[in-house]
Amino acid sequence: MTLAEQVGALKRVIGRLVRQRVGEDTGRPFMQLLVLKVVETEGLRHQSLIAERLMVDAPAVSRLVDRLAEDGLIERRAGTNRRSVHLEVTDAGRRELKMLRAGLLWLDDEARQCLSDDELQQLTHLMKKLHTGLAQRSSGGPAAADGAA
């Protein structure tokens, strides 16, 4: 199995575990929770930035935000110009985020059952290094120019 296939398979297992765990607390689709997370914790307030961050198309983010707004978890506010909208997570949205965070912490505990502290630290280091190197290559940054990661 290639590295990409291994990472993809791990991503699917992690996603399934988190969805199952969070599903015990909320019936909300996982992607909606991710939108709340990037708005609240990463400060992404515009739908185009959310789409880029979550690697989905703009219409999908628009539908997700529409549903979150209908459910009172997010508010749309006028942006800096007539075409932009600024998103804010409501108190109800923050309660949903609390459930997501609890699910993610639970998953961290599950991972600690599979790996020693040293292994987990090494894996974290290697994932950061790989992410940085591949991100630079995909954006045409320094690693892409000189072949280094």
- Give pLDDT tens digits for 3-60: 999 999 998 998 889 888 887 788 888 889 999 999 998 887 788 889 888 889 989 9
Residue 24: per-residue pLDDT: 76
Whole-model pTM: value is 0.73
What's the mean pLDDT in 83-92? 86
pLDDT at 117 over 60: yes
CB 126 within 8 A of CB 119: no
Domain positions in the chain are 3-115
Phi first, then psi: give them for residue 148, nearest 5 degrees: -90, 150
Least confident of 12-26, 57-71, 124-138: 12-26
84-121 per-residue burial string, b: 16 or more CB within 10 A, e: under 16: ebebebbeebeebbebbeebeeeeeeeeeeeeeeeeee
Query: Would you state the CATH architecture of domain 3-115?
Result: Orthogonal Bundle (1.10)
pLDDT at 82 over 50: yes
* pLDDT of 137 above 50: yes
Confidence (pLDDT) at 142:
57
